[in-house]
Amino acid sequence: MYDAALSSYEYDFDVNFLAIRSQQQSLNLAYIYLKGDADKPVVTLLHGKNFNADYWTDTALFLQKKGYGVVIPDQLGFGKSSKPTDYQYSFAVMAQQTKSLLASLEIEKTIVIGHSMGGMLASRFALMYPQTTHQLILLNPIGLENYLKYVEYKDTDFFYKGELAKTAESIKAYQQKNYYDGKWNEQYEELTLFMIGQLNGADKDRVAWVNAKTYDMIFTQPVVTEFKDLTVPVSLIIGTRDRTGPGRNWMRTGVEYELGRYDRLGKAAAALIPNAKLIELSGLGHLPQVENFSRFKAALTEALAH
């Protein structure tokens, strides 16, 4: 069983904390910082919604071996960071806090890599802080569609009810179906253990409410509408088997659009973003960096050279 702060859940790297003041609350932002060579940029890795900083281990080690410094935050509401229940979560505030973290580490420019929901955050960061963003790399990001154009709006209570109803079996079934094409192994299972532990922990209600509140950002704070305004070098690494489509189960009446077709979305996004580089990985799904790290690191190396 794990508490809201994952106090007894061990990450692969040492975890540090930045004290922040936000929305009349004193909060802690957890992060990992691996130093690199002085002549190499620092890479900031932004996690997805169903993950935390710890799943970036292989990517971080690969980058550090190539000389890059690496910063991996747990965003507020996630991982080992504070989880305030009375809080307005937004990609903008998360981008601002990430910027504050970098400033505290005296990092003036960074390569930003965002996966899944972290791709929406990375996009917002690059739009807000282009002078800080050396390069933007989006790895199977959600937000390549403006979801409320196609799906019904749901109140946070809807998501809270869904979070409370989750079980170890339902978490596994969702990821097995949607992330890994029906396959399952020990590595995939390990990525679910922190969620299952929190389901069985004393802070289950707090975690469920915060998880519910952070769903709202995905539906009400689109970034795809501003892709044309990106001014930094952008690469998209897309596992084309991915079919992640938030809101698929509550489509608006009369809408026949198919959400989550990453075999199409990568191309559409690249067409919107000025001078974007698209790297497609056929046969891979939502987590290329977990499903086939060898293919992913080749794609990442190509993207870093963009």
What average pLDDT score do residues 149-172 get? 96
Q: CA angle, corner 300, sides to 141 and 13, nearest 5?
A: 85
pLDDT digits (tens, 9 = 90+) for 58-114: 999 999 999 999 999 999 999 999 999 999 999 999 999 999 999 999 999 999 999
Give the count of beta carbons closer than 10 Å to the beta carbon of residue 93.
17
Q: What is the CA radius of gyration of the chain?
A: 18
- Domain residue spans of the chain: 16-304
Count of helices and strands (H, E) across the chain: 11, 8
The number of beta carbons lying within 10 Å of the beta carbon of residue 223 is: 23
Q: Map residue 54 onto helix, strand or coil.
A: helix
Q: What is the pLDDT of residue 12?
A: 96
Report if pTM > 0.95.
Answer: yes
27 φ, ψ (degrees, to nearest 5): -135, 165
**Structure confidence at residue 10 (pLDDT):** 96
When pLDDT is cut at 50, 70 and 90, the band that residue 209 belongs to is: very high
Catalogue the E-assigned strands of 180-246: 234-239
Check if the beta carbon of residue 30 is closer than 8 Å to that of residue 16. Answer: yes
Which has the closest alpha carbon to 70: 104, 105, 117, 27? 105
pLDDT at residue 224 in the model: 98
Out of 147-156, 174-183, 262-271, which region has the weakest mean confidence (pLDDT)? 174-183
The candidate with the shortest Cα–Cα distance to 71, out of 104, 49, 96, is 104
C-alpha span between 139 and 183 (Å, rounded): 21
The alpha carbon of residue 147 and the mean position of all alpha carbons in its chain are separated, in whole angstroms, by: 17
| Confidence class for position 147, pLDDT limits 50, 70, 90 | very high
**Arithmetic mean of pLDDT, 161-166:** 95
For the residues 158-171, what does the mean pLDDT come to?
Answer: 95
The pLDDT of 128-157, averaged and rounded, is 98
pLDDT of residue 306: 85
User: Can you read off the two tokens belonging to residue 266?
Assistant: 């990568």
Contact indicator for 48, 117 with CB cutoff of 8 Å: yes
Mean pLDDT in residue range 199-223: 96
Nearest by Cα to 147 from 252, 62, 63: 252
CB neighbours (10 Å) of residue 222? 20
Mean pLDDT of the chain: 97
Domain 16-304 has CATH 3.40.50.1820: yes
Structure tokens at 12: 């692969």
32 in Cβ contact with 13 (< 8 Å): yes
Following DSSP, what letter does each residue of 122-163 receive, concatenated? HHHHHHH-TTTEEEEEEEEES-SS-GGGTB----HHHHHHHH
Q: How many CB atoms lie within 10 A of CB 203?
A: 16
